[in-house]
Amino acid sequence: MVWQVVPLDSVAQVGAGNAAPQDPRLFADGIVPFIRTSDVGRIRFGTIAAAEDWLNADGATGLRRWPAGTILFPKSGASTFLNHRVMTEVEACVASHLATIVPKADRVEPRFLLHFLGTVDAKALTQDQGYPSLRLPEIGAIPVPLPPLAEQQRIAAILDEAFEGIASANANAERNIANAKELFVGQLNRLFAEIASRAPAIPLAQLGAIQTGSTPKSSETGMKGTAVPFIKPGDFRPDGSLDYDNEGLSERGLAAARTVPAGSALMVCIGATIGKAGYAERTVTTNQQINTITPQPGISGKFLHYQMKTERFQQAVMSSSAQATLPIINKSKWSALTIALPASLDEQEAVVADLEALWTATDELVGKQRAKLAALAELRVSLLNHAFSGQLTRTPAIAA
């Protein structure tokens, strides 16, 4: 079977939405969805029947209403190159940042066209890679492989069924990841709640040497190097380990910074990631967003680090932070936060060993589920490649 290849605008009406009304009164008691790029972004691929904003009769007056079955995707703005594609299930008004593709029913199956447009990379449609914007002629010229209508319908049906199975399997994998993480956090909180019921609460200031990091002056040359890692909030991994390879200081830079010995516990104490906890396996320095405690002999830094991750400690951090645009807990308030500390180092290390074993099991499960998500993504790409090269014969079996 030989397929035609035709420009998009020969099988669909290509257009764009309207500028958004600015008067809030036009959205009061709205009855017509006004679909924006943010609404499309929440779905990414699929169908859309609602929007965050709805226009009333006055608001919709003078705006074009696009019929159900219109395919939408971003044509300008930050989300253009994200390649989100949706099809409307209801009549709707549409924002001007969205391209509107109304399939001609006698030429193309709408679901076939939606799936095909999901394979089109917006970056390939424009020569200006630095500016996320597509012109309507560029969109209209997209070459569409076009088998007979009955074949389009067959392919669309297979892809719909396959993608429904992929979506279900994706949801299961993501749910398994969330459950595994919740299991670890729940056990962490229960374990330290039990310890707090019998061990004294001691301020951090009494448990070791506390420092706030510093950043060498950027105006001075020769500060950066490889003598010691320079840790920033983005270098904290989910398990509390640190990425030592992003940036470092030279010997000269180290002389102007504050050294944090191996075995120290770290916490971000300013900004959007306030409360993020880490542990230094080696000597590091940090920027001024991070506070550190180097424990006294007989106290496990990893024990401190794990307890800093608990709900109780995190709530204490937030309660003690300045409630401003940029949340911050200063060194003195952070030093006053308490840790429930068993006197025995052996007990502290046993707690750490149990938590690390649980984290290893959790990480292994999460890794398997992420590998499944990656395999499902590859399967989706493979199905689309087969579909639009005439090689899709049946719906694949997809394990939930």
| DSSP 8-state symbol, 284 | B
Give me the pLDDT at residue 6, please.
96
Edge-to-edge strand ranges of the sheet holding 248-249 = 248-249, 224-231, 285-286
pLDDT digit string, tens, across residues 183-242: 999 999 999 999 999 999 999 999 999 999 998 887 778 889 999 999 999 999 989 999
User: For the chain, what is the mean pLDDT?
Assistant: 93
State the pLDDT confidence band at 132, using cuts at 50, 70 and 90: confident
- Go through 232-244 and write b for each residue having 16 or more CB atoms within 10 A of its CB, e for each that does not: bbebbeeebebeb
Helix (H), strand (E) at residue 4: strand 4-7
pLDDT in tens, 43-75: 999 999 999 999 999 999 999 999 999 999 999
Number of H helices, E strands in the chain: 10, 19
Structure confidence at residue 399 (pLDDT): 63
Band (pLDDT 50/70/90 cuts) for residue 392 is confident
CATH superfamily assigned to domain 4-146: DNA methylase specificity domains (3.90.220.20)
Q: Which backbone phi and psi does 140 adopt, to 5 degrees?
A: -65, -25
Same CATH topology for 4-146 and 200-341? yes
- Residue 110 in this model has a pLDDT that exceeds 80: yes
- The model's pLDDT over 321-333, given as tens digits with 9 standing for 90+, comes to 877 678 899 999 9
Ramachandran category for residue 46: left, alpha or beta (phi over 0 → left; psi -120 to 50 → alpha): left
Contact partners, residue 35, CB within 8 Å, separation at least 6: 17, 48, 51, 72, 88, 92, 93, 94, 95, 98
How many Å is the maximal CA-CA distance in the chain?
80
The C-alpha angle 117, 118, 122, rounded to 5 degrees, equals: 75
The CATH homologous superfamily of the domain defined by 200-341: DNA methylase specificity domains (3.90.220.20)
In 3D space, the residue among 105, 119, 121, 115 whose CA is nearest the CA of residue 158 turns out to be 115
Beta strand 265-268 pairing with 143-146: unpaired
The predicted model gives 77-87 an average pLDDT of 93
* 357-382 pLDDT, tens digit each: 999 999 999 999 999 999 999 999 99
CA distances to 41, 86, 132, 134 from 124, rounded to whole Å, are: 20, 19, 11, 10
Query: In the predicted model, is pLDDT for residue 170 greater than 70?
Result: yes
Interval 284-310 mean pLDDT: 97
- Tokens 């996320």 belong to 132
Give the start-to-end residue ranges of the domains of the chain. Answer: 4-146, 200-341
R_g of the chain, CA atoms, integer Å: 28
Mean pLDDT over 292-305 rounds to 97
- Tell me which amino acid residue 14 is: V
